[in-house]
Structure 1
């Protein structure tokens, strides 16, 4: 895949702006909570959850906890979903699932089942980019960038040390 300036839809600075705005939105909707869990989908979703946690800790008194969710994205039923640290109970806790791109909703739909048994107070979804091609009944509570695409187009989010960009391919 070729990443060029022509197909870049978000650069490093714009991604930071989106994360900062999303953090304020999350805090606005959860300001009465004592604790908030951000559960990031491995790998980019967890990195975004870390960035959101950093922003939330700067702007709010919330006790922000991080979890990493690892699953096989194309065959989630044939592989275990691993959450670390391991879940015991999230009773009366607000949880935000975080992923980089909401495409069909499949990844988030399968991840939800792991949290539904834990009696969360509420379960929300944050995504950097929403493509609006959901095949599952999933919608993002918090979205950094909303983009209508064709089914043949793809979004690639690159979150490496010195390169944060999102591309439409």
Structure 2
């Protein structure tokens, strides 16, 4: 039986791996508080498969207009950087036991899988989409500002779009709303 010290030696890299991946997505918590109860997690979408797509200036978040919903996901470049970071972290410790290597691989795979999704909010659940004071605003049927407080890398996501992109996004969303 392994001692607590050797268990800790196995768990520390796992905790470190999780800690590395979480700050990249800091402030992006996929909960009902951010996007409402009728939103659903869906497969990622390519920009070419949507009616309109824009990415934050910082480059980590995509907002897209699909046929029946607004879709938000981490950008391809964000996901590529995340994969590279996770791969680098899992390959850092060549002296790890086979068990530790398997656990690190499972954790990094789980993080990738969790973040490699999109959130779709049906237009039937959105009351308004507009620009106010330089930020994109999406309100649900209860008047709640969706994504208003979401941050990535200490930048408010809804303030991090080019003005022209945000205007086109609003116009396209209004065309799709019931």
Normalising by the smaller structure, the TM-score range is: under 0.3
Of structures 1 and 2, the one with the larger relative CO (CA 8 A, separation 6+) is 2
Larger Rg: 2
**TM-score (structure 2 length as normaliser):** 0.24
- Hey, which of these two has a bigger chunk of strand by percent? 1
**TM-score (structure 1 length as normaliser):** 0.25
- Hey, which of these two has a bigger chunk of helix by percent? 2
